[in-house]
Amino acid sequence: GAAQTRFLVVYAAIGVLQAGLLALQTILLTLCALDASKTLHEKMLDGVLGAPLRFFDETPQGNALNRFLQDLANVDVDVPTVFLDQLTRTLTVASQLGLVLYFAPWVALMLPLALVPYGFIFSTVRVAARDTRRLEAAAHGPCYAHFNDALRGRETVAAFGALDRFCDANARLVEAMATGKYANDACSKWSQALTTMNGCVLYLAAGLCAVLLVRRGDVSTGQLGLVLLYAASLQRAGMDYMCGLATLEAQFVSVERVAEYCRLPRERDDGRGRAPAAPGSAAALVATDVALRYRLSRPLALRGVCLAVAPGEKVAVLGRTGSGKSSLVGALARLYPLAAGAVTVGGVDLAGLPLADARARVRVVEQSSTLARETVRANLLGPSATCGDETVWAALDRVGVAAAVRRLPGGLDHVCAERGDDFSAGERQLLALARALLPAPPPLLLCDEATANVDEATDAKVHDVLLRGLDATVLVVCHRLAHVAAFDLAVVLDDGRVVEEGRPADLLRDPASRLAGLVAAGKKG
């Protein structure tokens, strides 16, 4: 009749409303989760890019990749899903418990007895689940690093027949990663078993009490059936709720790890105010009693280094492995904070300048240069520099790589392959040198063994650019000693100290000099 129709309409309306609210809940949670993930990613990326160079020296590459890959994927997908499921479980438990208490208020007397074992189980499993999740997340880093190293050095691995050794090492790392996953799953299954047994005991107790109340006439058989039905559902919902709460906390380990990178200490920038305009040509370099220490627990890498370089001079820095050559480059480029001393370029103390202004005066060409997956123009100029194509082509012509760029489809608009693999190692190094000369040569140019990975022809080309007609003060950490005599000044380091300094021709004429000894040892080698 009309009453049944009305009930059906109300029931259908409730179903439609439920579906609409569930859809709205999912949409809102997804949008909020994506916005939160985007914000976390931006903060994490800003934290990593703004971190001091010491962070990259101390942090394995795989660990950083793990934060941006696995942990961020968990924040994007797993955390919102688990949170939504837990919200649904919370509402389910609340509604079922409310119905049971409405029809059988005496069940409230049993709640303290139920909460004690559930609370004990939760307090135990949450710690184990969280810690095993941390172990699983930490095990991803070495696996990513090993795979990345094997991928980049696949030619070397194949050439030395080390494939089996790398496969065994990868299997061990994957096993360590799976161990953490297995331990986390075992914690989840263990908690499910305990909560199920606890729920069954409580369900049995509720059933016995309900039967006694029915026999006394305090509860009808219909109410008894309803109470038992919802008590059984409540037992299952309670198990899911406890396990879900522990899972949610374990998944928030990824949020914790991402937040750790968001709070990385930033590179120290003690500069105050605006710096004077950088000189448009070569500038004098003066280093006074420079001392550098990478960590407080480590010995000094540089010990009282003093240098005085006139504008436009070309300086060769030499020394055996571990003598402090690269440390000197890091100190002069303000890549590391000085333990003592000062560095001035053009009469201005770099420590007193904002970082951006200090590094506008000093550019570095490293041993192994790489290219981003951008156009050749973007790789040479960066995102903010503005420079005409004529100037870019002039720099490419100067370093001798213009012909290789012209052969590319699109020329300067050609999109480079990942890490610049469409260029040879020598061409990448020449492009890095051209990048250092754009839009104009810097007041101070530092080259840290810039020709270590190139052939002799490219080595000669790089030195020709650096030593002839370049309006910049140049300091080169030399890998090959064939061009030492062409420099204006030679500086020999040993144990972080300047042990010899002078004109290369004068030092080479003295067989007792450190420079002559290095050259002689190089020829024998």
390 and 242, same structural domain?
no
Mean pLDDT of 278-298: 81
Rounded Cα gap, residues 210 and 226, in angstroms: 11
The residue that leads in pLDDT, 363 or 224, is: 363
Residue length of the chain: 525
Residue 525 pLDDT level (bands cut at 50, 70, 90): low
Assess if residue 275 is contained within a domain: no
Buried b (16+ CB within 10 A) or exposed e, 121-135: bbeebbebbbbbbbb
In terms of phi and psi (left: phi > 0; alpha: psi -120 to 50; beta: otherwise), the region of 419 is left
169 and 100, same structural domain?
yes
498 and 436, same structural domain?
yes
Segment 234-270, tens digit of pLDDT = 667 777 777 778 788 888 888 888 888 888 888 777 6
Domain that holds residue 111: 2-262
DSSP codes of every residue in 73-118: HIIIIIHHHHHHHHHHHHHHHHHHHHHHHHH-GGGGGGHHHHHHHH
Angle between the N-to-C axes of helices 389-399 and 425-436, in degrees from 0 to 180, rounded to the nearest 10 = 130
Q: Where are the alpha helices (DSSP H) in 263-371?
A: 325-332, 355-361
Give the distance between the most distant pair of CA atoms in the chain.
118
Residue 102 pLDDT level (bands cut at 50, 70, 90): confident
The residue that leads in pLDDT, 408 or 386, is: 408
345 and 302, same structural domain?
yes
Does 219 score more than 60 pLDDT? Answer: yes
In terms of phi and psi (left: phi > 0; alpha: psi -120 to 50; beta: otherwise), the region of 315 is beta
CB distance 327 to 495 below 8 Å = no
- Boundary-marking domain end, from 199, 231, 262: 262
Distances (CA, A) of 89 to 234, 244, 273: 10, 8, 56
Question: What is the per-residue pLDDT for 467?
Answer: 85
313 and 356, same structural domain?
yes
Assess if residue 148 is contained within a domain: yes
Question: What is the per-residue pLDDT for 106?
Answer: 66
The helix/strand count (H/E) of the chain reads as 18, 10
At 253, which CATH number?
A: 1.20.1560.10
The end-to-end CA distance of the chain, in Å, is: 105
457 and 314, same structural domain?
yes
Assess if residue 416 is contained within a domain: yes
- Boundary-marking domain end, from 210, 227, 262: 262
Domain count, the chain: 2
Residue 524 pLDDT level (bands cut at 50, 70, 90): low
256 and 216, same structural domain?
yes
At 418, which CATH number?
A: 3.40.50.300
Tokens of 472: 């910049």
Mean pLDDT of 374-382: 83
125 and 47, same structural domain?
yes
Mean pLDDT rounded to a whole number for the chain: 81
Residue 1 pLDDT level (bands cut at 50, 70, 90): low
Assess if residue 406 is contained within a domain: yes
**Strand 314-318 to 473-477 pairing:** parallel
- Boundary-marking domain end, from 196, 229, 262: 262
Segment 172-218, tens digit of pLDDT = 888 888 888 888 888 878 877 877 777 777 777 777 777 777 777 76
Does 271 score more than 70 pLDDT? Answer: no
157 and 115, same structural domain?
yes
Rounded Cα gap, residues 473 and 283, in angstroms: 6
349 and 295, same structural domain?
yes
Angle between the N-to-C axes of helices 425-436 and 456-467, in degrees from 0 to 180, rounded to the nearest 10 = 10
421 and 388, same structural domain?
yes
Rounded Cα gap, residues 475 and 326, in angstroms: 11
Rounded Cα gap, residues 147 and 170, in angstroms: 7
Question: What is the per-residue pLDDT for 277?
Answer: 56
CB distance 121 to 197 below 8 Å = no
Determine what percent of the chain falls in helix, strand and coil, rounding each to the nearest 5. Answer: 65, 10, 25
Segment 297-342, tens digit of pLDDT = 788 888 888 988 888 888 888 888 888 888 888 888 888 888 888 8
Question: What is the per-residue pLDDT for 125?
Answer: 79
Question: What is the per-residue pLDDT for 457?
Answer: 81
427 and 307, same structural domain?
yes
Assess if residue 271 is contained within a domain: no
Assess if residue 279 is contained within a domain: no
Assess if residue 270 is contained within a domain: no
Rounded Cα gap, residues 194 and 450, in angstroms: 63
Q: Nearest 5°: phi and psi at 494?
A: -155, 125
Assess if residue 273 is contained within a domain: no
